[in-house]
Amino acid sequence: MKTLWLIKIGGNVIDDADRLKAFLKSFQQIPDPKLLVHGGGKLASALAQQLGVPVRMVDGRRLTDAAMLEVVTMVYGGRINKTIVAGLQAVGCNAIGLTGADGNIIRANKRTGWEQDYGFVGDIERVDEKALSGLIEMGLTPVVAPLTHDRQGSLLNTNADTIAAKVAVALAGIYQISLVFCFEKPGVLENPADDESVYKALDYSSYLAQKSAGTISGGMIPKLDNAFAAMREGVQVVQICQAEGLLSLLGDHPAGTRLKL
Amino acid sequence: MKTLWLIKIGGNVIDDADRLKAFLKSFQQIPDPKLLVHGGGKLASALAQQLGVPVRMVDGRRLTDAAMLEVVTMVYGGRINKTIVAGLQAVGCNAIGLTGADGNIIRANKRTGWEQDYGFVGDIERVDEKALSGLIEMGLTPVVAPLTHDRQGSLLNTNADTIAAKVAVALAGIYQISLVFCFEKPGVLENPADDESVYKALDYSSYLAQKSAGTISGGMIPKLDNAFAAMREGVQVVQICQAEGLLSLLGDHPAGTRLKL
């Protein structure tokens, strides 16, 4: 099987034009077929505030009413996605920007039955791995925005880490997947206060122990749960590092943390 | 050669949710391979005003500084494009939204050497007909936003009528093209004050005569110049009608005006 690199970047890279430019240059140097998933960053909240659309978060999740859905469609699907695509074209990478609605690649259901009504937020029902691999085999590099659709005409706001994990699982039958989450920190840290204390490797039982002990906590937990779940469903390699460490993954001394089951 | 329908819609359809929905339903009923080009409508100016970005038009063309480029990228590439794609998916049409940067389908040069500096406005250099036909042959229906790119990392604002005409010309070697411009009026009018006075057919010499006589004037002139140019470059059929007349084009009594060289 061919290797496919599936890289996820978040707000810390997207919100900084110079870091983004440097990242896209590194990304283009990955020789294998590849796919990029991007998050939203602070731009959606900034635009919402400018437009007087209330920004409401519950447990780190964005409540997405109709007005906020318009904002994220403009920011994620338009501004961020197209800026990345044009930036990749400038370095010779034939990128194609996609939301889950484009080519029906990611179909989702509007989240219901939770105590909190999150509004237009999607839980992924199905990723069309053939549509994605069809584009990849044409020589295209998909750039996926954190938006899905319900196939009834509505776009849905969807967590980018979850999209990366689910797309990786769907493509794992076709490619040998290297799934890379670019985080703010240089990897999973043994001591959250010490950026030098990166686990070179982290297996699932150690993760559970660190979670119980409280050394791995907060926003890292859903991210790591997501990543381990992807491994259990067939994703061969999951690495967590900083965007700046991306190219080290091609060599013998990969930056960040390699997950193991 | 297979027929490809290439339909262009403008602001009068896009700005009205009900009309857009009805149009997308008709569009989906066209059995042949098809491609949709959309304009921008009033939404870009409305968002610009909300954000305090000055809206400046010269001779009907939008001056596009960096702030306005962000606005049109969000509105054309995000909100309008993805709303149309999700709407088409809802009626069973496997749409894929594209700007010129996506798959490098439309490369342009920033307009220079004009007396007026239009800012980030693109004059089309090259349409990649193979990339587009590759997507179409995968069963996808491209939905093209009025944005191109310069391959140096910048998106460029580009007139949607021009995109429709240039894409039609590029694809005319691969498909038998039916290019349809959906206008506000039911066709080209013999008497601009009488919507019933639609030319069933209009040839180039009659067009020139009506233009000299002043009965065809204003915004119709660049549109018709564009359309006749596409015919001279190999586009087989050009029809001008209202969005509501689209399905009549499949039958023996097509609505609107058929152009002839």
% of chain B beyond a pLDDT of 70: 100
> Are A98 and B103 an interchain contact pair (Cβ–Cβ within 8 Å)?
no
Q: Which is it for the CA torsion A75, A77, A82, A84, positive or negative?
A: positive
Query: So what's the pLDDT on residue B218?
Result: 84
- Report the phi/psi class of residue A73: left, alpha or beta, with left for phi > 0 and alpha for psi in -120 to 50: alpha
Would you state the structure tokens that stand for residue A3, as one six-digit string?
């290797």
For residues B60-69, give the mean pLDDT: 90
d(CA A72, CA A59) in angstroms, rounded, equals 19
Q: Which of B24, B27, B85 is the best residue to mutate to test the A interface, defined by the most A CB atoms within 10 Å of its own CB?
A: B85
Q: Using a CB-CB distance cutoff of 8 angstroms, which residues of chain A are in contact with residue B155?
A: 82-83, 86
Q: Using a CB-CB distance cutoff of 8 angstroms, which residues of chain B are in contact with residue A86?
A: 101, 149, 153-155
- Interface residues on A facing B, Cβ-Cβ cutoff 8 A: 47, 50-51, 70, 73-79, 81-83, 85-87, 89-90, 94-99, 101-104, 131, 134-135, 138, 140, 147, 149, 151-155
List of E strands, A188-247? 201-203, 237-241
Query: So what's the pLDDT on residue B239?
Result: 98
Would you state the structure tokens that stand for residue A212, as one six-digit string?
């119980």
SS3 A70: helix
Query: So what's the pLDDT on residue B141?
Result: 98
Q: Using a CB-CB distance cutoff of 8 angstroms, which residues of chain A are in contact with residue B73?
A: 78-79, 82-83
- Provide the pairing of β-strand B106-110 with B122-127: antiparallel
- Distance to chain B for A26, nearest Cα, Å: 15
> Are A152 and B83 an interchain contact pair (Cβ–Cβ within 8 Å)?
no
Nearest residue to A156 (alpha-carbon basis) of A239, A61, A79 = A61
**Residue ranges for chain A with pLDDT beneath 70:** none
Nearest residue to B242 (alpha-carbon basis) of B165, B199, B185 = B185
pLDDT tier at B41 (50, 70, 90 boundaries)? confident
> Are B151 and A89 an interchain contact pair (Cβ–Cβ within 8 Å)?
yes
- Interface residues on B facing A, Cβ-Cβ cutoff 8 A: 47, 50-51, 70, 73-79, 81-83, 85-87, 89-90, 94-99, 101-104, 131, 134-135, 138, 140, 147, 149, 151-155
> Are A104 and B87 an interchain contact pair (Cβ–Cβ within 8 Å)?
no
Query: So what's the pLDDT on residue B116?
Result: 83
Which pTM does this prediction carry? 0.97
Given a cut of 80, whether residue B178 has pLDDT beyond it is yes
Query: So what's the pLDDT on residue A60?
Result: 72
Given a cut of 80, whether residue B190 has pLDDT beyond it is yes
SS3 A198: strand
Would you state the structure tokens that stand for residue A216, as one six-digit string?
């791995």
C-alpha torsion B64→B105→B143→B244, nearest 10: 80
d(CA A249, CA A247) in angstroms, rounded, equals 5
- Distance to chain A for B177, nearest Cα, Å: 23
Query: So what's the pLDDT on residue B4?
Result: 98
Q: Using a CB-CB distance cutoff of 8 angstroms, which residues of chain B are in contact with residue A151?
A: 89-90
Residue linked to tokens 């990345």: A84
3-state secondary structure string, chain B? CCEEEEEEECHHHHCCHHHHHHHHHHHHCCCCCEEEEECCCCHHHHHHHHHCCCCCEECCEECECHHHHHHHHHHHHHHHHHHHHHHHHHCCCCEEEECCCHHHCEEEEECCCCCCCCECEEEEEEECHHHHHHHHHCCCEEEECCEEECCCCCEEECCHHHHHHHHHHHHCCCCEEEEEEECCCCCCECCCCCCCCECCEEEHHHHHHHHHHCCCCCCHHHHHHHHHHHHHCCCCEEEEECHHHHHHHHCCCCCCEEEEC
Query: So what's the pLDDT on residue A217?
Result: 87
> Are B89 and A76 an interchain contact pair (Cβ–Cβ within 8 Å)?
no
Q: Which of B27, B50, B104 is the best residue to mutate to test the A interface, defined by the most A CB atoms within 10 Å of its own CB?
A: B104
> Are B77 and A75 an interchain contact pair (Cβ–Cβ within 8 Å)?
no
d(CA B87, CA B96) in angstroms, rounded, equals 11
- Give the CA angle between residues A89, A90, A93 to the nearest 5°: 40
For residues B30-42, give the mean pLDDT: 93
Nearest residue to A96 (alpha-carbon basis) of A106, A114, A80, A82 = A82
> Are B89 and A95 an interchain contact pair (Cβ–Cβ within 8 Å)?
no
Q: Using a CB-CB distance cutoff of 8 angstroms, which residues of chain B are in contact with residue A131?
A: 138
Query: So what's the pLDDT on residue A113?
Result: 81
pLDDT tier at B96 (50, 70, 90 boundaries)? very high
Q: Are A55 and A48 in contact (CB under 8 A)?
A: yes
d(CA B243, CA B184) in angstroms, rounded, equals 8
Residues 6+ apart with CB under 8 A from B22: B244
Q: Are A119 and A70 in contact (CB under 8 A)?
A: no
Residue linked to tokens 């329908």: B5
Residue linked to tokens 């091609």: A250
Q: Which of B24, B51, B69, B96 is the best residue to mutate to test the A interface, defined by the most A CB atoms within 10 Å of its own CB?
A: B96
Q: Are A167 and A106 in contact (CB under 8 A)?
A: yes
- Distance to chain A for B24, nearest Cα, Å: 11
Q: Using a CB-CB distance cutoff of 8 angstroms, which residues of chain B are in contact with residue A94?
A: 103-104
- Distance to chain B for A38, nearest Cα, Å: 15
SS3 A96: strand
Instruction: Please give the C-alpha separations between residue A36 and each of A8, A177, A199, A242, B1, in angstroms, as whole numbers.
Output: 6, 13, 25, 15, 37
Instruction: Please give the C-alpha separations between residue A126 and each of A107, A146, A150, in angstroms, as whole numbers.
Output: 5, 15, 10
Q: Which of B38, B49, B79, B98 is the best residue to mutate to test the A interface, defined by the most A CB atoms within 10 Å of its own CB?
A: B79
C-alpha torsion B112→B100→A158→B83, nearest 10: 100
Using CB atoms, pick whichever of B83, B87, B102 lies closest to residue A96.
B102
Query: So what's the pLDDT on residue A147?
Result: 98
The DSSP-derived string for A148-159 is: EE-SSS-EEE--
Query: So what's the pLDDT on residue A129?
Result: 98
pLDDT digits (tens, 9 = 90+) for A30-58: 998 999 999 997 899 999 999 999 999 88
Q: Using a CB-CB distance cutoff of 8 angstroms, which residues of chain A are in contact with residue B51?
A: 50-51
- Distance to chain A for B212, nearest Cα, Å: 42
- Distance to chain A for B89, nearest Cα, Å: 6
First to last CA, chain B: 21
C-alpha torsion B238→B223→B36→A142, nearest 10: 130
Would you state the structure tokens that stand for residue A92, as one six-digit string?
């010779």
